[in-house]
A and B are shown apart, each in its own frame.
Chain A
């Protein structure tokens, strides 16, 4: 194992310690950390709202908060989790940090745009914080018309402005990644030598760039309609509230792929490293990523089966939704095949990644149920849906986020965390997650509707289980915060490549120097040159 960077080159962290040096940085690694701190803040805000929701649902009566407050709580939880945590979570932090390293570049293509995207994110976040202070918004994260445009008395315009703004940070990140992958690859880094993490972010970026503007304009139309009292969603004019749902889900369904595709990229890297085997079916993995991104644009109508959409459109959307399952299943099969006969090690990143596979599969298969027209009539707007998308977004995307956090923490900080605590944390999180959300599948299947804070007493057992699980899940989130914080000062030094992983990011010191590599790396072979049984692939 040789490191390419010259000895003693200052790391990106020691390039400057002042606040100003951070706020004006153009280094993709520092911007990634800026994003990391910001999304942690919003994660905590949204998690607090979730805690209130679970506390309220302990009893069938609405005794903790009133209906309006409850509506605001789940709206805040949704809006903040989706746009201020999940969408930027992996791309803006690990994507930003790792893509230039993985392709052997000094930085992303447009470093100033990269920094600008963080400021735009912060500005959008400010709007949301102001919304909360002003009294919140009660429309649900989906902002459905005509409630948002005609009836809601909460701060809709403030909230949609915040989401509108944060959309542009997502667009600029996506644009940057696309151009970076096309233009900045090191000599020899051909398209089919790119790590799957990079491919996943490339597919994600396509979705970010092509779907987000649709959301932005749709939300702008809501604001205009609210201000002027007329608009294309206004039924009084013969406008169509369902058109809003079409436009909203044209973004918001692919948005799920913005969350899950980077997660798939992370899991691919981790599984191959801790199985000591190359990824099974690399090219199929690439094509699956692209297929998910592309077909994901054509399935949005499955959110509208019971909305009054034409039955024939429903059939087409249902069929197209089934199609997305194929590339998703290919990925799960290939991960499993990668494990087969590998020298599997159960380090913390691997535990999270294995958790991801199981939970993503649960979420995916229940998604197929929901994409089936007849079943959806029974299940729509119940807790079954809530459980389904939490299995994808939290069980999938958040587990993968923690997998990435544990896999690349030594690279980002140069320190190792205590292994036993980390494995315990992964298991606590997995158990807590299932305890929280599996009962919701049952409650939903039995008919408990979502978005009410009062429910029939027969659902109490399931809700108590779920709230109890949320406490375990909370512990699972807090544990890493504690031991990772501890590791910053007390952790053992990591060295360049603590996992014996392949990939260019492991060939430069931890933490990497400002321009990543002392000399431009040259790539001479395919990725994932692991050998089963060995400890070091190179």
Chain B
């Protein structure tokens, strides 16, 4: 069936993004929102709104019963979960399906399988995807765990089987530290994720983070090439690009083919992302995890391929086959996305909610700004600090960077501090321009280069 209506079970810029995509397809849009988001941009744009609870996410956006009841009451055909909140919650996908409503995403079984990091590793290995050297599965016995760690070589990561997105990870340098941390990691994982299962992986030093966008319709799977997200702070992505910088073409082909193989192995349906670490010294890549949802950084892929991933998700959820074949997907140019957060980069990224006084968004070819902001909007303190994403496309990476510098200078947000100055500095950095970055580049760079720039600015 073709969908006629969709409930958006999310907030912020991604709710705005989904509403726009759904409207472009002629769907009736219903936004489920907390009391705190009553005046949000998404609430203004949606055809209808349903209040699902108090500001705290636990009582609203994470409340499965409240969201499913809202979907039933508004008689929608489908529910789009966005990212975060309930997007990768198999129990939620089951509850939506049980109500006779289409869940926009893969099956609950696929979410369950790929959401368990140990099982996902096994599925990847079976599909021929290289995985990071580590334990074959869950490890419970401390002596056995130490033996595995010693075999693969320190430093190693102790990871929670139910973790993901950078959560539930500890890095340990030797056997003694391992013996101390392993039991703690287990009880912490049990408390945080309701599952104390652990596995062990080798630390790949100086790796780049690359990830492949896939689209599946249950029968067929295609890739939309890769993104690179090596600039991270506290394991959170700050700046993303497509395609990856300096990735040899033969490696790109193998990388993307491996993601498709993994997608095919589980009969993947919808949009998904297969994440890898890439060692540019050896040209080796290693599977990390699969995200079974749309990702924050999806626009860079859209900018270089021309594919609207969110519209594609909605069409697939309505029963359509993929609208593109692999040969139709081509890389055109280069795109960069900067996450603009309500944080003060000069005060250790202290979050800063508050009211937006002035908002000026640069316009022009190749510029896109996905945001939840408008002048006079009071950014609530209850949710994450993402205010918007500035995305630029250029013919080459150098052209894209030049356009990005100009666009960042033209983007004005006043009333609260933002991370615009951080991006303006990164866009002018020689190492960034040369692509000499990796996942542990940004934090030392903030301590040295960015701190120095800030001092120079104060002196001036």
A-B complex is real: no
Chain A residues engaging chain B, CB cutoff 8 angstroms = none
